[in-house]
């Protein structure tokens, strides 16, 4: 056996340790003092809850959930809610810290938060998911509120889950409170364009990157890992720009067609079977092989720690646009930078979702709805401006786009801390 076959795969990094390493790099560039590092390098508030749900078979099951607020310095905190069996407190803390930097990169007036419940919604009925959502909302209602902390969808949660959250919070308040959550259905104050916003934002910054690199987007080859909300909307957005999406995957497997996938037929297949696997217009490939296909643009849009020191040397993309949060380990990041692969970091690339969530929150507070064209135009302005600010910072300091984005973001949060001062 060769050495590579006998050597055990390195353990996947703890996402919160990754988040802290990324923060510390920026803190070094900004010469932050120890007190500021200790404050911003950890989370402001962490709530763990354990609660019962009566399942369809009449039995009671206990679930564990979290809501973490990393920072409230730049405004109310904002961040999605994830339902997944692998949720941990450290994962939620990392996602919450990343939200702080993301909101700062695109300069919207929020701090960062995140929530999660350890559960497998694939094994639960709609009725059970509704009861879990309502009880979890009630448990975290001491933290959330339209001026305090505003949840949104994340992995395995969607507009329906947000509607149950909004209804539960409103029942406790005694009146309707639409701006307590974003990513809601349009019928209760959701924003036009929110469902597509994260994927659309990924496309906008990637096209900016292609322009910067002198690559024609027309005919660019796109590979997407994770065909959920972010991945499927990014795939469609790239296809609308004349790119060819050749491969996509989900937790069950991956599919490939060198001539390009017919996304309309694929969506119908996913609606019917709940997976991309078995799509007649493509061949089946391994999920790991998808990441190393030759392509112009690789979009990881699933979970953390997918691009590692093991596969990074074999990645054949020109640009990586991080639709997911934390898909690249720090070791892989260094390899990609040395190999000259242009990485659009998560806190920039997937910020389109929270940007249109901000639009939805503003519309909710004002009870005034915007047209889809208005939403998309404002999204384009913010994403384009943010890309150029990050690029300038990265070029000025001769660092990667990730470090550039972190320096910009951490600096904005530190300035908020300085100008607000320390209470009491």
Which positions touch ligand NAD (CB under 6 A)? Answer: 153-156, 198, 225-231, 249-251, 287, 301-303, 323-325, 350, 353
Q: Which two tokens stand for residue 263?
A: 């996304």
Q: Rg (Cα) of the chain, in Å, rounded?
A: 21
Q: Which two tokens stand for residue 41?
A: 């390098």
Q: How far is the CB of 58 from ligand NAD (least distance, A)?
A: 29
Judged by beta carbon, residue 27 or residue 307, the one nearer ligand NAD is: 307
**Residues in CB range of 357: below 8 A, 6 or more apart:** 78, 150, 152, 182, 183, 191, 194, 197
Q: Which two tokens stand for residue 183?
A: 């990513």
Q: How far is the CB of 198 from ligand NAD (least distance, A)?
A: 4
Q: How far is the CB of 356 from ligand NAD (least distance, A)?
A: 9
77-84 β-sheet, strand order: 45-54, 60-71, 111-118, 77-84, 149-153
Judged by beta carbon, residue 221 or residue 247, the one nearer ligand NAD is: 247
Judged by beta carbon, residue 36 or residue 311, the one nearer ligand NAD is: 311
Q: How far is the CB of 266 from ligand NAD (least distance, A)?
A: 12
DSSP class of residue 252? T
Helix 159-173 to helix 126-140 angle (10° resolution) is 50
Whether the Cβ atoms of residue 340 and residue 96 lie closer than 8 Å to each other:
no
User: What's the half-sphere exposure (Cβ side, CA atoms, 13 Å) at 217?
Assistant: 17
Give catalytic status of residue 371 as yes or no: no
Judged by beta carbon, residue 301 or residue 375, the one nearer ligand NAD is: 301
Catalytic member of 12, 114, 148, 371: 114
DSSP class of residue 280? T
Q: Which two tokens stand for residue 30?
A: 């900004």
Q: How far is the CB of 187 from ligand NAD (least distance, A)?
A: 19
Q: Tokens 């905190």, residue? A: 77
User: Which residues are annotated as catalytic?
Assistant: 114
């Amino acid at each position: 056996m060769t050495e590579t076959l006998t050597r055990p795969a390195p353990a996947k990094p703890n996402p919160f340790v990754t988040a802290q390493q990324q923060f510390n790099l920026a803190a070094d560039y900004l010469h932050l003092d120890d007190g500021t590092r200790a404050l911003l390098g950890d989370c402001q508030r962490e709530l763990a809850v354990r609660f019962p749900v009566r399942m369809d078979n009449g039995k009671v099951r206990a679930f564990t959930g979290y809501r973490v607020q990393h920072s409230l310095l730049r405004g109310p905190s904002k961040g999605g809610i994830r339902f997944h069996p692998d949720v941990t407190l450290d994962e939620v803390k990392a996602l919450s810290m990343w939200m702080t930097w993301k909101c700062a990169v695109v300069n919207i007036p929020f701090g960062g938060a995140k929530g999660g419940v350890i559960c497998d919604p694939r094994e639960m009925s709609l009725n059970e998911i509704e009861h879990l959502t309502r009880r979890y909302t009630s448990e975290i209602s001491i933290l959330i509120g339209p001026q305090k902390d505003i949840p949104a969808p994340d992995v395995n949660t969607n507009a329906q889950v947000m509607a149950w959250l909004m209804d539960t919070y409103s029942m406790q308040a005694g009146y309707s409170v639409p701006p307590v959550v974003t990513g809601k259905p349009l019928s209760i104050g959701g924003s036009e364009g929110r469902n597509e916003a994260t994927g659309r934002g990924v496309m906008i910054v990637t096209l900016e990157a292609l322009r910067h690199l002198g690559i024609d987007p027309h005919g660019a080859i796109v590979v997407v890992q994770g065909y959920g909300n972010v991945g499927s909307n990014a795939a469609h957005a790239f296809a609308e720009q004349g790119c060819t999406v050749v491969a996509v995957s989900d937790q069950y497997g991956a599919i490939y067609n060198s001539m390009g996938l017919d996304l309309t037929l694929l969506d119908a297949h996913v609606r019917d079977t709940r997976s991309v696997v078995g799509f007649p217009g493509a061949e089946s490939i391994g999920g790991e092989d998808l990441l190393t296909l030759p392509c112009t643009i690789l979009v990881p849009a699933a979970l953390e720690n997918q691009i590692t020191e093991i596969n990074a040397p074999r990645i054949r993309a020109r640009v990586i646009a991080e639709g997911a949060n934390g898909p690249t380990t720090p070791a892989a990041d260094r390899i990609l930078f040395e190999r000259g692969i242009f990485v659009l970091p998560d806190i920039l690339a997937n910020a389109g979702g929270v940007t249109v969530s901000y639009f939805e929150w503003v519309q909710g507070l004002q009870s005034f709805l915007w047209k889809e064209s208005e939403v998309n135009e404002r999204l384009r302005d913010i994403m384009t401006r943010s890309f150029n600010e990050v690029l300038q910072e990265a070029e000025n300091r001769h660092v990667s786009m990730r470090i550039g984005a972190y320096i910009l973001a951490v600096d904005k949060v530190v300035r908020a801390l300085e100008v607000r001062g320390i209470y009491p």
